[in-house]
Structure 1
Amino acid sequence: MTTTVPRNEPTTAIATAGEPGEDRSKHARRFGLPVATALVMGNIIGGGIFLLPASVAPFGTISLVAFAVLTVGAIALALVFGRLAERHPRTGGPYVYAREAFGDFAGFLAAWSYWITAWVSNAALAVAAVGYLDVLLPLHDSKPATMAAALVLQWLPAVANLAGTRYVGAVQLVATVMKFVPLLLVAVGGLFFFDADNLGPFEASGSGTLGAISASAAILLFSYLGVESAAVSAGEVRDPRRNVGRATILGTLGAAVVYLLGTLAVFGTVAHDELTGSTAPFSDAVNAMVGGSWGGSAVACMALVSMVGALNGWTLLSAQTPYAAARDGLFPAAFARKRRGVPTVGVLVTVVLASLLTVYNYTAGSGGVFEILVLVTTFTATVPYLLATAAQIYYLASGQAHRVSRARLLRDGVLAAVAAGFSVWLVAGSGYAAVYQGVLFLFAGVLVYAWMSARNHRTTRTATPAVAGDTAAREA
């Protein structure tokens, strides 16, 4: 039966004790601020950083302006998540915020959309990782070997998750450190080899300033998905009221610095004409900095570490939102079972779905379909983003922001408005095809919600006569 929490009061019971009924074995350990920050940074920066400079080079250096605009929107969204986490410090993030503000249906849509985003993104990330693995171990001549490698790259993080949150945090922290050290070396070291002649024109696409910013931003939209990572796993974070917001801001700022410095360094070390046709821009940048051809192998190693770390974090997130929804009766009850601090059914179902999608991609040769599915994740991720920002606007406008000064109320209102605009921009940037496909996914979710609601209703009707009978017997 659905458990409903009063919408007008913040949930406070789980600020320090965590989710009730959790299995807190030696393998389950809460994330501190460093690991929570690493989770945010690692999930925002997957493998896209290694491709982004070449992807936006055709638009010119104006793409750096688009990066800056996106960064402002992402930080505003991060601040909104931090505020909402103070009010509802529970596992589930946007799902919890949407349900508390607008009811079960809105909460289900947030959970369903986020779940789709997670497992489709995992499939895409694994397939992209194989491209870098191919630099080290040539696999392109064997489709079965390529497919097997993609599946292994998905199941290894799943195994780490099934071992317990203690190991998830350890893998995430190590992967993040190993990833950012070389990335920062390239980003900072590239500034010493910076040549302004390599930058090319400011606006190279011929579509005008606003058109170029919008077009390049559409490519960069996916790069900031993951700002909600700490909020989604709030139940696994120590002192979530304090640390979720801090980790979200620190992780988003850290990712923004790496993105901007890395892109700028590559722009300044690789000639513009060469960069527009590059398939490994960071490799080309390293070769330009130190000479030789070993850069490709080095960057391939960095990309693999980056993507495995991102898969590790996204695998956890893909199970956390269905877990929170299942506890409220909006997902099948099996998703609410935890072992060693991890929703094991959610992890297994997610990795199986991602694996099936990966197999389909390789056996059907449907590259175009798969690319559309990847773009769909940009749209599906914005659904919970928009619902979460709408929840914050609802709390502020309805006077439920207790003990808040007028200055903070105004500041929070501006941040919520910017975050909402950013979310709408994400939808627009996804493209017509992605929005069309994404809406179909949402409609499929509506059918699932109808089935779960009917099931809950039958359970309620069955339980009610028994309760009434017990009451009558006691009165007699």
Structure 2
Amino acid sequence: MHETDGTPARRFGLPTAIALVMGNIIGGGIFLLPASVAPYGTVSLLAFGVLTVGAIALALVFGRLAERHPRTGGPYVYAREAFGDFAGFLSAWSYWTMTWVSNAALAVAGVGYFHALTGGKGSMGTDLAVALLMLWLPALANLAGTRWVGAVQLVSTVLKFVPLLFVAVVGLFYFDPHNLGSFTEGGGNWAGGLTASAAILLYSYVGVESAAMSAGEVRDPERNVGRASVFGTIGAALVYLLGTLAVFGTVPHGKLVGSSAPFSDAVNAMFGGEWGGTLIAAAAVISIVGALNGWTLMSAQAPYAAAKDGLFPAVFARKRRGVPTAGVLAASVLATLLTVINYVSGAGGVFEILVLVTTFSATVPYLLAAAAQVYFLLTGRRDRVRAGRLTRDMVLALGAFAFSFWLVAGAGYKAVYQGVLFLFAGVLVYVWMAARRTAAAGGEDSASAGEPTAVEERAAEAALRG
């Protein structure tokens, strides 16, 4: 595969594609999740199980869609093929918004773990410098090409997966049932606890689409995108479920509810001392840097695919060493501006609104992609669907749609309100690009109209000879 600069780009193999999915799913949030859901009781483990089934269904649907359309852009490509340019644009715009805003949020969260690792608290200037370093080191890895993106993603995923899995597995040997709270805390019913804890956990699996989004950079995407999506989701689910169960069983429930570092408390409870905080803080920093590496690539893929179709400015369609450089730079600059605003102006309200926007923006591409699969199946566009698989694919597509719809509902009224406003603001960009395409097409038509056709030239010659 050769890019515009003539440099061959190395495609991702299956292990790297799995690492991309796992690395993007497992960011920094996992290190606080057990404490976040502990107030609802062990019913939250059931909620995790239900969400995992939905996430795997969505991963399987992305695999099926990649068999049909193995192109970079994933959800954008599927929405545009099914519903046209406008739906495709909304998917790309929404996804692009989510990536660069969430990158800023990840970098800010990483500063806290960095301080836990170094044992100190820096000034505002130091915090800003650390946050920007976390943003731009992954950006530089991306600008160096897909080879470096894949290497960083593989190494960081292994480095964060090992300590988390260590806590999850070893914690089972220290498991004490007396540490568990009741199935439903606070005297509520199990259905209410399930829904409440699920609302917190819903976004734990954002990133399941990562292999589909980078299908053009994955070797044999028709086979490997689906495998990477499913294996990566299952790997992340194992870490989530076993890790949360281990923390629940090693940290007394009363302490866990108020914990700000549940995994660190679990390590300290298992082995004594206070070194658990350092170990988990190191894993968290590695996890966030790895997630930023993957999400920086994702931030360039949706606008790249849209630009190839004339729905985003053409500069986003240029690649170097397999990576859309303009997309990487634009997302990194926007995330930098948002991070600077967060630290310098103290405009926490603005930052909070934009983070709310991401919670809704992440769901729009999922919903459209699942709907696209339902559309393809209902309209008889069943190419690449083997005989006997139609019913199963339809069940998976409807399950993925239901899961995506649940994500939208779980975002909350405020997030949906802010997200819809930002989504519709993108309509102006679509109008501008559509007008440019129409003007360009009109110019070509006018130029063609001013030139005589071959038939007209031959008729004129015949008339002169006559």
Q: Which bracket does the TM-score occupy, shorter chain normalised?
A: over 0.9
Deviation digits for residues 185-235 of structure 1 (CA, Å, limit 9, x no counterpart): 110000000000111111114442222111111111121000000000000
2:463 equivalent in structure 1:
none
Within 5 Å, which residues of 2 pair with 1:436-447? 436-447=417-428
Whichever of the two has the greater Rg, that structure is: 2
1:309 equivalent in alignment to 2:313: no
How many angstroms does 1:369 deviate by?
A: 4.1
Structure 2 distance, partners of 1:103, 1:211, is 40
Question: In the alignment, which of 321, 326, 345 is matched to residue 302 of structure 2?
Answer: 321
Q: Which blocks of at least 5 consecutive residues in structure 1 are unaligned?
A: 1-17
Structure 2 distance, partners of 1:222, 1:395, is 27
1:104 equivalent in alignment to 2:85: yes
Structure 2 distance, partners of 1:279, 1:346, is 35
1:433 equivalent in structure 2:
414
Q: For the Cα contact (< 8 Å) 2:152–2:290, is it kept in 1?
A: yes
1:218 equivalent in structure 2:
199
* Gap change, CA 1:277 and 1:366, over 3 Å in 2: farther
1:203 equivalent in structure 2:
184
Structure 2 distance, partners of 1:260, 1:22, is 44
Structure 2 distance, partners of 1:447, 1:206, is 50
2:71 equivalent in structure 1:
90
Deviation digits for residues 91-144 of structure 1 (CA, Å, limit 9, x no counterpart): 000000000111000000000000011111101111111110011235634111
* Gap change, CA 1:198 and 1:144, over 3 Å in 2: same
1:64 equivalent in structure 2:
45
1:295 equivalent in alignment to 2:252: no
Q: Match for 1:203: what amino acid?
A: T
- Most deviating of 341-350 and 199-208: 199-208
1:228 equivalent in alignment to 2:209: yes
Number of matched pairs? 457
- Most deviating of 411-420 and 371-380: 371-380
Structure 1 distance, partners of 2:417, 2:120, is 35
How many angstroms does 1:354 deviate by?
A: 0.6
Q: Match for 2:7: what amino acid?
A: S
* Gap change, CA 1:475 and 1:378, over 3 Å in 2: same
1:347 equivalent in alignment to 2:361: no
How many angstroms does 1:25 deviate by?
A: 2.0
Structure 1 distance, partners of 2:347, 2:225, is 39
Q: For the Cα contact (< 8 Å) 2:68–2:384, is it kept in 1?
A: no
How many angstroms does 1:258 deviate by?
A: 0.7
Q: Give the structure-2-normalised TM-score.
A: 0.95
Structure 1 distance, partners of 2:323, 2:387, is 41
1:265 equivalent in alignment to 2:246: yes
Structure 2 distance, partners of 1:376, 1:269, is 36
Q: For the Cα contact (< 8 Å) 1:139–1:145, is it kept in 2?
A: no
Question: In the alignment, which of 62, 68, 73 is matched to residue 81 of structure 1?
Answer: 62
* Gap change, CA 1:371 and 1:216, over 3 Å in 2: farther
* Gap change, CA 1:435 and 1:205, over 3 Å in 2: farther
**Which secondary structure state, in structure 2, belongs to the residue aligned with residue 279 of structure 1?**
coil
Structure 2 distance, partners of 1:371, 1:206, is 32
Q: For the Cα contact (< 8 Å) 2:356–2:418, is it kept in 1?
A: no
2:7 equivalent in structure 1:
25
How many angstroms does 1:405 deviate by?
A: 5.2
Deviation digits for residues 132-181 of structure 1 (CA, Å, limit 9, x no counterpart): 00112356341111111101100000000001111000000001111111
Deviation digits for residues 304-343 of structure 1 (CA, Å, limit 9, x no counterpart): 1011000000000100110000000000001001111110
How many angstroms does 1:449 deviate by?
A: 0.5
How many angstroms does 1:407 deviate by?
A: 3.4
Structure 2 distance, partners of 1:453, 1:22, is 25
Question: In the alignment, which of 341, 347, 361 is matched to residue 380 of structure 1?
Answer: 361
What is the aligned-residue RMSD (CA, Å)? 1.5
Structure 2 distance, partners of 1:337, 1:205, is 55
How many angstroms does 1:474 deviate by?
A: 7.2
How many angstroms does 1:469 deviate by?
A: 3.4
* Gap change, CA 1:472 and 1:252, over 3 Å in 2: same
Q: For the Cα contact (< 8 Å) 1:23–1:341, is it kept in 2?
A: no
Structure 2 distance, partners of 1:271, 1:366, is 37
* Gap change, CA 1:402 and 1:338, over 3 Å in 2: closer
Structure 1 distance, partners of 2:326, 2:85, is 22
How many angstroms does 1:365 deviate by?
A: 2.4
1:334 equivalent in alignment to 2:310: no
Structure 2 distance, partners of 1:186, 1:24, is 46
Q: Match for 1:25: what amino acid?
A: T
Q: For the Cα contact (< 8 Å) 1:221–1:378, is it kept in 2?
A: no
1:281 equivalent in alignment to 2:258: no
Q: For the Cα contact (< 8 Å) 1:62–1:203, is it kept in 2?
A: yes
